Amino acid sequence: MTDDTQNKPLLDVQNLTVRFAIKRGGLFGKAKYLYAVDDISFQIKRGETLAIVGESGSGKTTAALAVARLVNAYKGRVDLDDTDFLSLQDEDLRQARSKMQFIFQDPYSSLNPRIRAEKIVREPLDNLDTVPNEERQEIVDKLFEAVGLHPEQQRLFPHQFSGGQRQRIGIARALATQPDLIICDEPVSALDVAVQAQILNLLRKLQADFGLTFLFISHDLGVVQHMCDTIAVMYMGKIVEYGDRKSLFNNPLHPYTKALLSAVPSVDKKRRAETKRILIPGDPPDPLDLPKGCRFANRCPVAQDRCRSEQPNLNEVTQAHSVACHLVNETGIAPI
Ligand SMILES: Nc1ncnc2c1ncn2[C@@H]1O[C@H](COP(=O)(O)OP(=O)(O)OP(=O)(O)O)[C@@H](O)[C@H]1O
Ligand code: SF4
Ligand SMILES: [Mg+2]
């Protein structure tokens, strides 16, 4: 492999925008557009993990669904391993889709209660129909073993498993077609803390063993701190801070990221002891009536006049770290 090939991202998302038409004011009222994802770009290298972090409603799930074409992108481009994914049609799309799999938050509602675990894991292979029928059971056996489930559990139904075990089934199913990219949408937030750690460890082990690439979504920076190479912090449809894990955890710059991080007790205990918890006052703005300037301005403790009139661009502070904040852009340092 040349250096160039090694450095190429597996997933390259450029200027992705997703909007939903929202009807207001009765039958003949004009539709307004809600920009759930507004011009975001990110890349993931093969074998690495990008985490998208942000509060509820920031657009994390919509971004992931648009990457997988489960909702339509209004603008932007998604390249998966050099394939222009958003322009694929029919059979090409079906084949390419099998290269991206989802692991969902709620392992119970995402598994069909009437189907045995064995069939749930096997289903993606049956749908894709590229592996000979007689080889599929062997793959299912291996997947059960890889996720730490016993062979005899293949005959059970989802309700006969615990939450953590159900998430293991979801992971086995996601791995069945040997996808290039696995999108994990809050995969542990419905689980107890002890079980969360087991599932995160399993995901890390599977990544090391099989060279998996993850797009990992969480509202909790604490969950992603041991899980990711790069982090994109989203707020109201925009990426407000983007950087490698070390830069972002050691030197958070955006006031929103600082506040999120100050709420994570386990991140850098020594530094946390010196740092007060930063509370974010107020509520996010109405997504159908976004402010002209910085979307965080009404909650930001250091907002200036300029912040209310001009939207900050996501600018590079270093090669590995970008921030969308006027004050950081002016001074290069975190304003709080
Ligand atoms: N199908 C839809 N139709 C209209 N609006 C939608 C739709 N899906 C999402 N939205 C809106 O888009 C915005 C982003 O939602 P999204 O679910 O992507 O956020 P999220 O970051 O995943 O939140 P959470 O942490 O709660 O899962 C929200 O304002 C949401 O109400
Ligand atoms: S641009 Fe202004 S309002 Fe927005 S985060 Fe930076 S300082 Fe706060
Ligand atoms: Mg979500």
Q: What is the pLDDT of residues 184-211, one digit of tens each?
A: 999 999 999 999 999 999 999 999 999 9
Mean per-residue pLDDT, 52-59: 96
Strand pairing report for 238-244 and 230-235: antiparallel
Distance (Å, rounded) from C-alpha 74 to C-alpha 151?
45
pLDDT band at 4 (very low <50, low <70, confident <90, very high): low
Closest CA to 101 of 187, 222, 219: 187
Question: Is the beta carbon of 36 within 6 A of some atom in ligand 1?
Answer: yes
Question: Does 243 fall in a domain?
Answer: yes
- Domain-located, residue 95: yes
Sign of the C-alpha dihedral, residues 64, 68, 70, 74?
positive
Residue 156 lies in a domain: no
pLDDT range class, residue 1, cuts 50, 70, 90: very low
Confidence band of 7 (pLDDT split at 50, 70, 90): confident
| pTM of the predicted model as reported, rounded to 2 decimal places | 0.95
CATH number at residue 276: 3.40.50.300
Q: Which atom of ligand 2 is nearest to the CA of 303?
A: 3
Q: Does some domain include residue 158? A: no
Query: What gap in Å lies between CA 336 and CA 73, rounded to an integer?
Result: 35
Ligand 2 center to 313 CA (angstroms) = 11
The amino acid sitting at 171 is I
Q: What is the pLDDT of residues 257-307, one digit of tens each?
A: 999 998 887 555 565 556 678 888 889 999 999 999 999 999 999 999 999
> Shortest CA distance to 66 belongs to which of 111, 103, 90, 100?
100
Distance 72 CA to ligand 1 centre (A): 14
Instruction: With respect to residue 110, please indicate whether it lies within any of the assigned structural domains.
Output: no
Residue of minimum CA distance from atom 5 in ligand 2:
325
Which chain residues have CB less than 5 Å from ligand 3, an ion? 61
Structure tokens at 149: 């489930």
Please check whether residue 222 lies inside any domain of the structure.
Answer: yes
3-class DSSP assignment, residue 257: helix
- Give residue 208's domain range: 3-99+179-331
Nearest one of 226, 218, 180, 220 to 201, comparing CA atoms = 226
Q: Looking at residue 226, what is its pLDDT?
A: 86
Query: For residue 22, which atom of ligand 1 is closest to its CA?
Result: 4
Res. 27 pLDDT band, cuts 50 70 90: confident
The mean predicted confidence, pLDDT, of the chain is: 93
- How many independent structural domains does the chain possess? 1
Residues sharing a CB contact under 8 Å with residue 120, sequence separation 6 or more, in sequence order: 111, 112, 158, 169, 173
Residue 71 confidence (pLDDT) above 60: yes
Mean pLDDT value across residues 232-241? 98
Task: For 312-321, write each residue's pLDDT tens digit.
Answer: 999 999 999 9
Q: Would 146 be classed as within a structural domain? A: no
pLDDT of residue 320: 94
Answer yes or no: is 279 within a domain.
Answer: yes
Ligand 2 pocket residues where CB is under 6 Å: 254-255, 294, 296-297, 300, 302-304, 307, 312, 325-327, 335
Model confidence at 3: pLDDT above 60? no
